[in-house]
Amino acid sequence: DIQMTQSPSSLSTSVGDRVTITCRASQSISSYLNWYQQKPGQAPKLLIYAASSLQSGVPSRFSGSGSGTDFTLTISSLQPEDFATYYCQQTYSTTITFGQGTRLEIK
Amino acid sequence: QVQLVQSGAEVKKPGASVKVSCKASGYTFTVYFMHWVRQAPGQGLEWMGRINPNSGGTNYAQKFQGRVTMTRDTSISTAYMELSRLRSDDTAIYYCARENRSAANDYWGQGTLVTVSS
């Protein structure tokens, strides 16, 4: 199976900060990389698909980049509602895998 | 609007089976694959498998092979996930999620808590 490794695992940040989360695949996955946001007690929400495409309705402060094995999710100016856990997901292989998650906490 | 509505919480004993349903509405059920993802308490997301609602074809994560069965009933736009030989570490929230044309899960059910306890 393709392993997805996110970093950092957690991050203490403040409103207005620029935040970057990275996701590394154990082999090339082209651009088959998606990002999700999950808040406590809620289902995950799709933010970015195909590495860099913004899902409809998602604020433009979220952006994604990368291809091959290295990917990033960037939040340009963190808002109070953005404190959540973020997951990357590869859909390149028949067996889909997620990263372990990155938790954004209020500093 | 697209909606995925899952069945209610379940409590099962070790060794039993559970079957979770996911009723889709607001789109043509047979056009989009349906995935199942679970999340143990305080843990991350774990992909279990997916079903092609049109053909009934399935792909399962190797971890669940032999224990999971995904089916669908196109007449009522409902997907099902059955997990057998339950263990305590199967305690989790189980989600169904639609796969869009870009191989991402764009709509998710509300989740079904399955508790396995003697």
Asked if the Cβ–Cβ distance from A44 to B104 is below 8 Å, we say no
Mutate to test the interface with A, among B39, B93, B102 (most CBs of A within 10 A): B102
Average pLDDT for A41-50: 98
Query: How would residue A107 be classed by pLDDT, with cut points 50, 70 and 90?
Result: confident
Mean pLDDT of chain A: 97
Query: How would residue A106 be classed by pLDDT, with cut points 50, 70 and 90?
Result: confident
Asked if the Cβ–Cβ distance from A36 to B45 is below 8 Å, we say yes
Which candidate, B57, B63, B66, B56, places its Cα nearest to that of B89? B63
A51 phi and psi angles, rounded to 5 deg: 75, -35
- The residue ranges of chain B whose pLDDT is under 50 are none
Which candidate, A33, A45, A44, A39, places its Cα nearest to that of A88? A33
Which residues of chain A are within 8 Å of residue B37 when distances are taken between CB atoms?
44
DSSP for residue B13: -
Any bridge partners for residue B79, and if so which? Answer: B22, B72
Q: Retrieve residue A13's tokens.
A: 């940040």
Q: Is the peptide bond before B53 cis (omega within 30 degrees of 0)?
A: no
Which residues of chain B are within 8 Å of residue A36 when distances are taken between CB atoms?
45, 105
Mutate to test the interface with A, among B32, B39, B47 (most CBs of A within 10 A): B47
DSSP letters for chain A: ---EEEE-SEEEE-TT--EEEEEEESS--TT-EEEEEE-TTS--EEEEETTTEEPTT--TTEEEEEETTEEEEEESS--GGG-SEEEEEE-SSSS-EE---EEEEE-
Instruction: Please tell me if residue B35 touches chain A, with a CB cutoff of 8 Å.
Output: yes
